[in-house]
Structure formats: C-alpha cells, structure tokens
Structure 1
C-alpha cells in the first residue's frame, strides 16, 4: 500500500476524536475520519468513489429492515398504554420484597425493555410511573434514581434488541436468533444483581413492602399483562424456531403491538403521527451511522488495522483472560463518551478478530460487548440513561454519584461473570440448536 499501517490507524482515530471534540455528529466524524484514512492509501477520485459505494452497499441488506420495524413497535408500545399493565404485573413478582416499589421498577424495566428494545423508553415509561409512588411512600430520590438508571439497560440484552442486530450485521453475519436468545441470561444476571443490591439498601432503610394482593387481583393483573408478554413468545419464539426471520418477526411485532394498542384505545391520529415522527428520526440516525460505519469498516480492512491491533494486543500477552480484561477496560472507557450503536459499529471489526483468534465465539463476544457498553449508558458525560433518570427524580448528576457507585460495582461483577463464564451467553443458544 505504500503507507505504514500505524500511520493510517493514527490518522483514522486521531481525526475521529478531533471531530468529536469539535462537536461534529458521530456519524459525520466516522465518515470524514474514514475518508482521511483511505486518502492516505488511494488517490482522491478513487477515495470518493470507494466511500460513496461503501455507504450504499452498507445499507443494501434485507436484515436491516428489522431495525425500523422494531423501533416502530417499541414506539407504539411506549404510547399504547402497555407500561402500567407491566408495572402492575411486576408488582405481583417483586411486591413482597423490601423496597417493593424499587423491585417493581427493576422488573418493569426488564419486561418493558425486553418488549420495546429501548433502555431509555423503559426508564421513562416505568420509572416515570413508579417514581411518584416511591416519593409518596418516603423513598430516597437518589436510591430511586440509581435503581431506575442501572436497571433500564437490561432490555438491551433481553431481546428484541436493535444493538444486537447491528452487531450481527457488522460482525459478518452472526446469527440474530442466536444473539437474541443468548441475551436472556446475561440480562437476568444484570437485573438480578441490581435487585439484590436494592434489597440490601431497602432492608437497611426499612422501606415498605406492598400488601399481599387478593387472588382475584393476581388473576386479573396477569390476564391484563398477558397479551403484552405474549409478544416476546410470538416474536422471539418464531425466530428461534425458524418460523420466520428476525426481519419478518419485526414486522409481526409492529402488527401485534398496533392491534393491541388499538384494543386498549390509546391511539389516535395525533399519537400515531408522533410515533411515526419518532420512528423516522431514530431510523434515519441509525441508518446514516450504518452507512458511515461501512466506510470505516472498509478502511479498517483495506489498511489491515484489525490485524495490526490483533498482533499488538497479542504482543502484550497471549493469555486469553488478560486480553479480554484489556478489551473490557477499553470498551468501558469508550462507553463513557460514545453511544452504543456507533461504538459497536466502530469497535466490532477491530476487536472481533482478536477474540476469535483466541477461540471466543462471536455470539459470546457480541453479548459481552453489549453488556459492557450498557454500563456506559449510566455514566457521564454522555450517559442517556443517567441524564433521564436524574431528570425523572429531579436530581443533579453530582447528587447521585455516591449512591449509584455500588450499582456500577455490581454491573462490573456481572460483566466479569459474562466475560469469563461463556456458558452464561452460550448455554441457551446451544440448547435451541442455534450454534
């Protein structure tokens, strides 16, 4: 190529971070940095042609249709009266534990996030519903916010998850069905860890327990929530069993949630317009990111940067556990200043060759990566879950840092478990014959 790989790598990443510091959108920064890196190896005219072609071909994938459909179904659920039914159902499960409303918040985030595929949507819908009740019963706002913030990312692991779809595509065709089913146990590990810590703090502060519900209420609440919960079985079950693809499943999710919301009579022309507007905006952002990242993926491959970084990391140590620890530390840093989707798009092509050379399954790495980046949603300076959770509880970020730190520790322990115990991610996909 005539240009040192190290120089290309420095040009790519240094220019990208400069663009971020200057305030450019991540997608624009990715595209421009990739263009600069390619320009070091190819003439200007060929660089322009190659960049344009890669942006177009990067979106020429039928599986990408799953993303706007899952976004649409999630937005329909966010506005379709489903949140309160899931909150009531979560009360049946966690209502008898100390700090029952906090436990309901965690379980509600897990359920709603799993159905909608959005962490912040779950946080807003469930946390926004639960917090006034917690405040009325004398809960510490900092405790409530910490629980809501750290539990909402569980829905990004428990399918359907757009981030896992993005990983499947950028990783070269990892099975979406395998990634979906692989996310259940890690998502439960994350949620269960937060529940245990919330339980300990609730016992310490003598937070109240919900009264035991009457059996008639249990039956009614379960039946009310059942149609929403069936969505998981219909969509994920159909994908796992091969009845339909993830893309077809996303379309079914839209029809299912639309019919359900119409039955609940929570949709009108104004709400539908809002849903469509939000879906178009979110889809446009993600698709432009995918297009720009296609240039970066090609620039990385053409410049042999992944092989360079693989050799660099393996030069530090050939111990699998040490390399995974280094990668986790790097991703934790990345997650503090970059949203999940661009982080997955940029760093999957870089780290995947490293871990596969060590014998790690791509499905396992995909779950590890998403789990890791979920933590970044809860940390400054760009943690969307942190900002929203503080807004819901009317707190400043500096007021909550001390309270939220123990929850970060629990999430990090979960990350180490997912990293070093492959069965947590791979057991269910193997049971269902997906890997």
Structure 2
C-alpha cells in the first residue's frame, strides 16, 4: 500500500510540475499504478471502465445545463443589471464600490454557478470603476478574487453536485440548501473587511440615489434574480430534480438573454453552445479521471489507512478537524476543485463521520476550504484572471488578500465546529432531521 501511494503521488506531482493538464496527470498516474499491479491490457481496460462508470450518473447531467445557463447569463447583460442593483442599494455606504463588488459577485456567482465567470463578468466592470474612484487596484483585485468564490457555496453550484456524487449519494437539494447560509456569511465577512479598509483609507462616499432611481434599478434586476428562486423553489418544493432544474435554467436564461434583455443575438448561440460543450468536456474528463483514481485509492485501502493514522494522532476532534482543514487549504492551492473533491472526499469523509460530522456539514466544509484555495497562489484560477483584468501582478495582491483570507477562514471555523450553520436551513425544509 505504501509503495502504491508513493508512486501515485510522485508521478502525479511530477507531471503537474511540467505543466501537464490536471486530468491527464490524474489519468496517467492512475494507469501507471494499475500497470504495476496487473498486466498492461487488463490495467488499461479497468481504468477505462472505471472512468466510464464515473460518468454514468443522472445527477451529472445537471452540470452541462448549469454551465450553459451560466454562459447565457454571462453574455446576456445580467452582470450589469446586478451591479446597478447593488450600487443603488449599498453604493453610498463607506467602501461602497467594494461592497457592491462583493454583493455583485455573490449574486452573479449564485446565478452562473462559476467563480471564473463571476470574476470575468463582475471584475471587467467593477475594477475600472473602483480605480477611477481612487481605490487601490491591488485591493480591488483581491476583493474580486475572494468574493467570486462565494458562488461555489450559494446554489446552484456545480461543485456541490460533484460532491454529492463523490460522497455516495448525499441529497443535492439538501446540499443546495446547506450552502446558502455559509455562502452569505462569507460574503458578509468580506464586506466587513472592505468596510473597515475603506474607513481607514478614507475613500470617498458615493452620492445617494433618489428612491425612484433605486426602485428602477432593483426592478430591472428582478428577472435575473428570479432564476435563483425558480431553481431552488422548484427543487425544495419537489417539483423537479436538480438535473431538471438545470434544463429549466437554460430555457429561462435563453428567454431572458435573447428575448427579454436582447443582449444575446441568435447568431451568437452556436458560439455559446460550443463554449459550453468545451467547458463540460473539461469538467467531465476531470470527473472521469478522478473517479478512477479514487477507485485505485479505495482498493489499496489508502482512505482507511489514512483515517486510522489521523485518528491515532489525537483523540481530540478539534485538532483532527483543524488538521483536515489545513491540509485541504494546501490542496486547494495546488489542485482544481473538481478532482480535489472527488479524490479527498472518500479519504476524509469517513474520518469526519467518525467524529460526528454529517456528510452535509462536511460537504460545505470541503467546498469552503477549496474555495479559499481557488483564490490562493500558486494555482488559484481566479487570481490570474483578476490580475489580468486589473493589470497587476500576482505578488502585489497577496498582501491585501490576507485580511480577506482571515475573514474566510473565520467562517470556515464556524462551519467546521458548529453544524447549525450548514444544517439549519436543510432541517427547516425537512431534508434532514435534527
């Protein structure tokens, strides 16, 4: 077992260091380990079978639908209307533009289900505006990077669907409900940091808008925000499943972007569909390869061995959960969220359950952990996009990111040690018993 684990880890990171795509790293390291244990042809056939089996899930059909609806929303003028709505409501507060940045990323991330989409759509508009208002460009970039990850928790979230598969069938609807409060808490924690920062720096306040203008901006954003209530209301009410909700989201986004707002032309739809297919293919290849690796880890009893090892380190649940959190934050800084969830859920979920943590609470914990990694160097995807938009360097936004990291970590500790924050809303709607 020890040799298998060493070979798997060494080959994986060696390929990663020479910039091999992450899905190929996972697949090649898995195949090499299998070929060491059995003959080449059966090894290749087994890996291929496990990859195909990993995609044989009805729940995964939701991912291409939500990817497509997110792209339609991103191109359909949704971001602009959400920003204007947030600006009208809270733009006159101290640090108003930074607060608007956070709220807009939360709303757009929730609608699109993508941190990268939120970074691109909101950052492209907000970062130049914040620079014109006198905000430090590095701080503005840091706020955008951190806030864009809230969409990983606030549903509909593709990564929560992936976790539901990796955990062996946790209710997607329950996970969606569980993500609301922690996602909003992260947003408010980031807003608190922005408020304090703006007060200390003395950034100018924006003028208050007349009530009629505020009402107009809010009304203009309601059709976009209605998607959240449509999807979640339908799932909670038992009207449709998460997969069916994804299809409904596509229809609604199409009607909104092409018919209502008219920001997307019919001739642009083939390009959007192609982009959606490319994104879906990348995600599905990651899921397939990660599923095969998880199976190899399982047959080698690596999760059980690591579980026993961690439980032998200490009998204090606080210490063990803290170690898991720290390890996942490091993993998130190097590994994409999808393979990280698929690989580490089978390893750490049994440990968490032995400590009394429910699969729902652990799911929110691991996604929040990896969300912090998503905006952390050296691999954090949203960091590079934000730096490109803000025309700044990665090393220059690390310092302003530190208090934002602290705010996110504070919420992570609350979610880790108090089940109420992740289970209260699912329990309210009858998805779990408390």
Q: TM-score range by the shorter chain?
A: over 0.9
Residues 136-180 of structure 1 deviation map (CA, whole Å, 9 limit, x = unaligned)? 222221221121111110111100111111111111111111111
> Over aligned residues, Cα RMSD in angstroms?
1.3
1:157 maps onto 2:157 in alignment: no
Residues 261-307 of structure 1 deviation map (CA, whole Å, 9 limit, x = unaligned)? 11111112443233112211110001111111121121122111111
In structure 2, how many angstroms separate the alpha carbons of the residues matched to 1:311 and 1:37?
23
1:174 maps onto 2:145 in alignment: no
1:345 maps onto 2:342 in alignment: yes
Residues 174-217 of structure 1 deviation map (CA, whole Å, 9 limit, x = unaligned)? 11111111111111111111100100111112212222222221
In structure 1, how many angstroms separate the alpha carbons of the residues matched to 2:131 and 2:286?
40
In structure 1, how many angstroms separate the alpha carbons of the residues matched to 2:30 and 2:48?
12
Q: 1:392-403 to 2 correspondence within 5 Å? A: 392-403=389-400
1:47 maps onto 2:73 in alignment: no
Q: Tell me how far 1:236 sits from its aligned partner.
A: 1.0
Q: Tell me how far 1:399 sits from its aligned partner.
A: 1.8
Preserved contact between residue 79 and residue 271 of structure 1 (Cα < 8 Å): no
1:430 maps onto 2:427 in alignment: yes
In structure 1, how many angstroms separate the alpha carbons of the residues matched to 2:173 and 2:53?
23
1:323 maps onto 2:297 in alignment: no
1:236 maps onto 2:232 in alignment: yes
Preserved contact between residue 156 and residue 374 of structure 1 (Cα < 8 Å): yes
Q: TM-score, normalised by structure 1?
A: 0.96
In structure 2, how many angstroms separate the alpha carbons of the residues matched to 1:47 and 1:384?
33
Where 1:341 maps in the other structure, the secondary structure is helix
1:193 maps onto 2:189 in alignment: yes
> Which residue does 2:142 correspond to in 1?
146
Count of paired positions: 431
Q: 1:63-74 to 2 correspondence within 5 Å? A: 63-74=59-70
In structure 1, how many angstroms separate the alpha carbons of the residues matched to 2:13 and 2:50?
22
Partner of residue 226 from structure 1, selected from 209, 216, 222: 222
In structure 1, how many angstroms separate the alpha carbons of the residues matched to 2:64 and 2:73?
14
In structure 2, how many angstroms separate the alpha carbons of the residues matched to 1:97 and 1:156?
27
> Which residue does 1:421 correspond to in 2?
418
> Which residue does 1:275 correspond to in 2?
272
Preserved contact between residue 90 and residue 108 of structure 1 (Cα < 8 Å): yes
Regions of 4+ moved over 4 Å: none
- Mean alpha-carbon deviation: is it higher for 111-120 or for 85-94? 85-94
In structure 1, how many angstroms separate the alpha carbons of the residues matched to 2:211 and 2:18?
59
> Which residue does 2:370 correspond to in 1?
373
Q: 1:30-45 to 2 correspondence within 5 Å? A: 30-45=26-41
> Which residue does 2:284 correspond to in 1?
287
1:246 maps onto 2:242 in alignment: yes
1:112 maps onto 2:108 in alignment: yes
Q: TM-score, normalised by structure 2?
A: 0.96
In structure 1, how many angstroms separate the alpha carbons of the residues matched to 2:19 and 2:97?
40
Which structure 2 residue ranges, 5 or more long, are not aligned?
Answer: none
In structure 2, how many angstroms separate the alpha carbons of the residues matched to 1:80 and 1:391?
23
In structure 1, how many angstroms separate the alpha carbons of the residues matched to 2:397 and 2:300?
44
Preserved contact between residue 94 and residue 107 of structure 1 (Cα < 8 Å): no
